[in-house]
Amino acid sequence: MIQLPKLHISNAARKSLSQYQAEINREQDFSTKVATAKRIWPLRSRSAPFREVKQRLTEMCSGANRCCYCEDSAADEVEHICPKDLFPEKTFVWENYLYACGPCNGPKNNRFAVLHSANQQLIELNA
């Protein structure tokens, strides 16, 4: 995985993402939050503010749109580092996005792991 520069999005785009996220956060239980995240993601990810998100992700890539996993120059999907099915509260959080190519992003699906700090053991969390 290549290290990418940390860029920021405008306050207006961040505000729009926060409003989208509020739609999810209003739900009372986890399963409804996940369902709402999955329902509104395809709609909101095509919005005008999201074009800025994609532009910033492009600017973070080194030259071509490099996949954050395989480093191929075919990245065309917004990857949720923390998957929507496990972390609906991060669906519209700028810091949760990277660019990935379809062949990497598809199989990754909802796979996610954390490193336990005490024993350095990798713990996989899968939905």
| pLDDT tens per residue across span 5-50 | 688 899 999 999 999 999 999 999 999 999 999 999 999 888 888 8
Residue 66: its pLDDT value, please?
79
Q: Of 7-16, 55-64, 100-109, where does the model show the most confidence?
A: 7-16
Phi/psi for 11 (5° steps) reads -60, -35
Q: What is the pTM of this model?
A: 0.81
Round to whole Å and give the CA distance between 23 and 104: 29
Round to whole Å and give the CA distance between 106 and 127: 14
Domain ranges of the chain: 11-125
Measured between its terminal Cα atoms, the distance across the chain in Å is 23
Residue 114: its pLDDT value, please?
66
